[in-house]
Amino acid sequence: MSVARVTEISATSSTSFEDAVNRGIARASETLRNVRSAWIKEQQVRVEGGKISEYQVNMMVTFVLDD
């Protein structure tokens, strides 16, 4: 009978989508306690000179509220 909040986080990485997910969760965990899961909402890349320069992921992060 817990209550959780869900917030959207956008994170970027120069190497891969999964690294972007990792960075976003690490940063979110600094200010939000009890992060439990993240649902991938959107994935996109920035392009420079015909090559990917940045991977961006938007995700819905769920964290449980303390009683």
Q: Shortest approach of a copy of itself to residue 51 CB, angstroms?
A: 7
Size of the site for a copy of itself (CB under 8 A): 48
Q: What are the tokens at 22? A: 């990792």
Contacts of 33 (CB under 8 A, 6+ apart): 63, 66
Per-residue contact string for residues 17-56; x = within reach of a copy of itself by CB under 8 A? xx--xxxxxxxxx-x---xxxxxx-xxxxxx--xxx-xx-
Residue 25 main-chain phi, psi, to 5 deg: -70, -40
The amino acid present at 13, given as its one-letter code, is S
Site residues for a copy of itself per CB under 8 A = 1-14, 16-18, 21-29, 31, 35-40, 42-47, 50-52, 54-55, 58, 60, 62, 65
